[in-house]
Structure 1
Amino acid sequence: MKLFYMPGACSLAPHIVLEWIGKPFELGRVERGKTREPDFLAVNPVGKVPALIEEDGRILTEAEAILLYLAEKFPDEHLGASPTLEARYEMHKWMSYLTGDVHPAFYPYFVPQRYITDEHHYHAIREAAYKQIDACFQLLDRHMSDRTYMVEDRRTILDAYLFVFCRWGNTLPKLFTDYANLHRFLTQMANDAGVQRAMQAQNISL
């Protein structure tokens, strides 16, 4: 397998999961601003990371789909949901929330130029985006109030994904320690050996 990633992007989540799985894989680094270059568009025509090339040449894209794929491909690692209807629902509910609410909330904050060309409005866009990010973090902080992991009291693919967004949140103006439970989770994950290997490989820190 070969994972195409951008340092610190959402592709960090499948990178962490691959470290947890412990099977051989390669990395393909894509520099920021280079996802629309012909070489990478040949891998993923959408021009986004992550992209995962399987041994048979199949190309998998979209972080959520890759995470769920890896959990199913390596069931012995127990990184997916338990085989009950309720557990699968919880897994998909939170995966959908992270993908559909949390991740998009950061786009206008980090890249307001995607939405408007007038730089004078960037600050207002970032302020509006931060309100959405804060609302997401408050909900997640409440969810994690009595939990070590997102679901089932064990490490799953959801934790790798949530770690990415907590790490992003750690760079925002509001002190991340204000989200006490998420900050505890961030610290816990930062001490995980697989997380540390992935961050070292990507040359990133908290």
Structure 2
Amino acid sequence: MKLYTKPGACSTADHIALHWSGGEVDVQVVDSADLKSEWYRGINPTGSVLALQDGDFVLTQNAAIPGYIADCFPDACLGGDGSARERPQVSRWLSFVGSDVHPGFMPLFHPARFIGDEAQHDTLKQAARARLRSLFEQANQRLSDREWLADARSVADAYFYITLRWAELTGVDLSGIEDLGAFRARMDADPGVHAALEAEGLH
């Protein structure tokens, strides 16, 4: 199983999950030039991150890959404990991060895709930061009485952690959201997280 990841992108969450899985970690770090290359488009024709190659099976899209990693390494319990209620909890928080939080950063990363007038970009970004703040407050409430988004550490936590790093980079105000800070500290101290960040040159 080989993961193609771009440093700091959502693929880094899957890199972390691979370290948590207990399996062999085979990761190739790619850059913007690689994404446009013929060899990479042979793996992922869209030329975007990310891609996971497992023998002759290639999987793309971060909506699919975390669950695949969890299913391939069930002993790590990254997709829940196998119960009827726990797996949907992980899926619920993966969906929250992938469908709500992650897209919320797009106006900050690529404002021109939303408004052509550069004079309006600051207004757009301000609105995006406010929206993200409200989403992070929801997650903070969830973390007020627990260490992880689901009942135990899961692939959802790795994905959510990456968005917290994006928040720091893009100036989203997380002041006063204390349980998020505790979650971030736990993740920063995690050996698997540290290994993935170091491999991607993010330390």
- Normalised by the length of structure 2, the TM-score is 0.92
Show the counterpart of 1:53: 53
Name the residue aligned to 1:80. 79
Q: Which residue of 2 aligns with 1:184?
A: 182
Report how far residue 62 of structure 1 moved: 1.2
Check whether the contact 2:16–2:158 (CA below 8 A) recurs between aligned residues: yes
1:43 matched to 2:43 = yes
Unpaired stretches in structure 2, ≥5 consecutive residues: none
| Paired residues, number | 203
Task: Go from structure 1 to structure 2 and tell me whether the alpha carbon gap of 1:164 and 1:79 turns closer, same or farther (over 3 Å shift).
Answer: same
Q: Which deviates more from structure 2 when the two are superposed, residues 194-203 or residues 42-51?
A: 42-51
Structure 1 residue 19 and structure 2 residue 3: aligned?
no
Inter-CA distance 193–57: structure 2 relative to 1 (3 Å threshold): same
Partner of 1:170: 168
Alpha carbons 1:144, 1:150 under 8 Å: kept: yes
Deviations 1:125-161 (A, max 9, x none): 2112112211111111111111111111x21111111
Structure 1: how far apart are the matches of 2:64 and 2:183?
23
Show the counterpart of 1:155.
153
Question: Match of 2:35, SS?
Answer: coil
SS at match of 2:78: coil
The answer as to whether partners of 2:21 and 2:70 remain within 8 angstroms in 1 is no
Check the 8 A contact 2:22/2:73 in 1, yes or no. Answer: no
- Percent of aligned pairs sharing the same letter: 33
Instruction: Give yes or no for contact 2:108–2:170 (8 Å, CA) kept in 1.
Output: no
TM-score normalized with structure 1 length: 0.91
Unaligned runs of 5+ in 1: none
Once structures 1 and 2 are overlaid, which stretch shifts more, 65-74 or 40-49? 40-49
Relative to structure 1, the CA distance from residue 181 to residue 33 in structure 2 (aligned partners, 3 Å threshold; closer, same or farther) is farther
Q: CA deviation at 1:177?
A: 4.1
CA 1:108–1:36 in 2, change beyond 3 Å: closer, same or farther? farther
CA contact 1:13–1:63 (8 Å) conserved in 2: no
